[in-house]
Amino acid sequence: MGKQIDRTSWKERIEAGFGASDAGAIMGVSSYKTPIQLVQLYKGEKEPDDLSENESILWGNLAEEMIIRKLTEIDELVIDTPQETFYHKELPYLYCHVDGISYQANSEIPIEIKNSREFMKDAFGEEDSHIVYKPHYWQCQQICAILEAQAVYLYVLFGGNSLKRYIIERDEADIAELLTRAKFLWEGCIHGDNMPEPMDYIDSGRLFASKDNDIKANTHAEMLHVDAVDLTKKMKETKALLDNAKKDLRMFIGNNNHLVDDDGKTLAKITKNNQMRLG
- Identify whether 214 is part of a domain: no
What backbone phi and psi angles, to 5 degrees, belong to 274?
A: 65, 25
Q: Are 170 and 245 contained in the same domain?
A: no
- Identify whether 77 is part of a domain: yes
Q: Are 56 and 138 contained in the same domain?
A: yes
CATH number, domain at 151?
A: 3.90.320.10
- Identify whether 125 is part of a domain: yes
pLDDT digits (tens, 9 = 90+) for 140-157: 999 999 999 999 999 999
pLDDT digits (tens, 9 = 90+) for 224-250: 999 999 999 999 999 999 999 999 999
Q: Total domain count for the chain?
A: 2
Q: Are 180 and 125 contained in the same domain?
A: yes
Which residues does residue 47 pair with via DSSP β-bridges, in sequence order?
none
Average pLDDT, the chain: 88
Q: Are 94 and 148 contained in the same domain?
A: yes
Best CA proximity match to 18, nearest among 77, 90, 93: 93
| Residues 22, 29 contacting (CB under 8 angstroms) | no
| Residues 163, 128 contacting (CB under 8 angstroms) | no
Query: How much is the pLDDT for 16?
Result: 81
d(CA 146, CA 61): 23
Residue 172: domain span: 7-190
pLDDT digits (tens, 9 = 90+) for 158-190: 988 899 999 999 999 999 999 999 999 999 999
Beta carbons within 8 Å of 216's beta carbon, 6+ residues apart: none
Q: Is the pTM of this model over 0.85?
A: no
Query: How much is the pLDDT for 11?
Result: 65
| Residues 154, 140 contacting (CB under 8 angstroms) | yes
Which residues does residue 104 pair with via DSSP β-bridges, in sequence order?
107
pLDDT digits (tens, 9 = 90+) for 60-114: 778 888 899 999 988 888 999 999 999 999 999 999 999 999 998 788 999 999 9
- Identify whether 2 is part of a domain: no
Beta carbons within 8 Å of 44's beta carbon, 6+ residues apart: 14
- Identify whether 37 is part of a domain: yes
